[in-house]
Amino acid sequence: MQRPITGYHQDEEGHWVAELACGHNQHVRHQPPFINRPWVITAAGRAARLGMMLNCKKCDRREPPDRP
C-alpha cells in the first residue's frame, strides 16, 4: 500500500528512516549504484520529500504500527 512520508529519524547506525502516516517506519538509504536516493543525505532533500508516497510492505502484511 502506498503511504505518505510524515517525518524522518536516524536508526542506531545512523541510517535514515522514513516515518509513514500509517505508523510504520521504512529505511530510505542512498547506496549507489543499487539504491539511488541522493535526496536522503541532506535536510533540504528530505524535507522536499515529505508527503512522498512509499510502498509500505508492513501494511500489505497487516502488521501493527511501529510506533503509537
pLDDT of residue 68: 57
Look up residue 48 and give its amino acid. A
Q: In whole angstroms, how far apart are CA 41 and each of 5, 15, 20? A: 16, 10, 18
The whole domain housing 51 covers: 2-60
Nearest residue to 24 (alpha-carbon basis) of 50, 4, 44: 4
Backbone φ and ψ of 48, nearest 5°: -65, -20
Decide: pTM greater than 0.85. Answer: yes
Residue 67 belongs to some domain of the structure: no
The answer to whether position 65 is within a domain reads no
Kindly report the length of the chain: 68
- Number of domains comprising the chain: 1
Evaluate whether residue 29 is within a structural domain.
Answer: yes
Residues of the chain with pLDDT under 70: 68
The letter for the amino acid at 2 is Q
